[in-house]
A and B are shown apart, each in its own frame.
Chain A
Amino acid sequence: DQQVKQNSPSLSVQEGRISILNCDYTNSMFDYFLWYKKYPAEGPTFLISISSIKDKNEDGRFTVFLNKSAKHLSLHIVPSQPGDSAVYFCAGYDKVIFGPGTSLSVIP
C-alpha cells in the first residue's frame, strides 16, 4: 500500500543548478506534507512543510509546490550545493507516511 510514492530512486545534479524532487500521493486525507533529508547513519531531519490549503511554501533555497488536483508535490532546491547530497523523503501527514526516498547527489 504505497500511499506516498517517489518514483525516482536517485538524482544527480550539477552544483549551482536546480534540483527537483518529485512525490505523488494517493491518500486524500493528508492535510499536511513534509520533506525530510537524511544523511547516512543519521535520523531524518525536517526540511520544509506545506499545508494542504497552500500551493507553495518557500524557505531559503528550498521551495515546495503542492498540486492537490494531481496529488503531486515537488521540492525545488536552488542553487544546489554539494552539502545537499542526501536521501530526501516526502511524507504525508495523517500519521506520518514516508515515501521510499530519492537519493540526491550534487556534483561539484
Chain B
Amino acid sequence: EPEVTQTPSHQVTQMGQEVILRCVPISNHLYFYWYRQILGQKVEFLVSFYNNEISEKSEIFDDQFSVERPDGSNFTLKIRSTKLEDSAMYFCASSGRRIQETQYFGPGTRLLVL
C-alpha cells in the first residue's frame, strides 16, 4: 500500500539555524500539506500546496516558513531561522485528485530546537 514518507525522523538543531524537513507524498496525489503538533497540544494546519503553489496557509506559517516541491517526488518544509517554539512533531500529508479527498499522513519528523 502506498504511503507518505518523511525524513529525517528526528532532527535536533540550534536556535537560529535553518532546517529542511522532507516528505515524499503518495505518487499520484496532487495536494500536499504540512501540519505540526507541539507536545501535548493538538495537530495544527500549517500550509496546503497544489499546482506548485501555496493554496492556503495558517497564521502559524509566517515568513520563516517556506515550502517547495523541487522535483516530481519531494515536498519540503523549510524553517529559515528556528526558534525554541518551533520544537514540535511535523507531519506531511497528501491527498488525491480532489481537495476533499482523504489526507494520508506521514509518520512525522520530530524537531527539537535547542
- CB <8 Å contact, A89 and B102: no
Inter-chain CB contacts under 8 Å: number: 48
Interface range, A side: 20 to 34
- Is there contact, CB below 8 Å, between B107 and A42? yes
Q: How far is the CB of A89 from chain B (nearest CB, A)?
A: 6
The reply to whether B107 and A101 form a contact with Cβ atoms under 8 Å apart is no
Q: B65: CB under 8 A from chain A?
A: no
> What is the CA–CA distance of A55 and B70 in the complex, to the nearest angstrom?
42
How far, in whole Å, are A98 and B105 apart by their CA atoms in the complex? Answer: 13
Complex Cα distance, B45 from A1, in Å, reads: 13
Q: Are A98 and B102 in contact (CB under 8 A)?
A: no
Please, which residues of chain B bring their CB within 8 A of the CB of A34? Answer: 102-103
What separation, in Å, do the CA atoms of A99 and B48 have in the docked complex?
Answer: 18
In the complex, B75 has a CB within 8 A of chain A: no
Which of B42, B100, B107 lies in contact with A89, CB distance below 8 A?
A: B42
**What CA separation (Å) do A97 and B56 show in the bound complex?**
13
> Told that A43-B108, A95-B56 touch, could you supply 4 new A-B pairs with CB distance under 8 A?
A45-B105, A49-B102, A100-B42, A101-B43
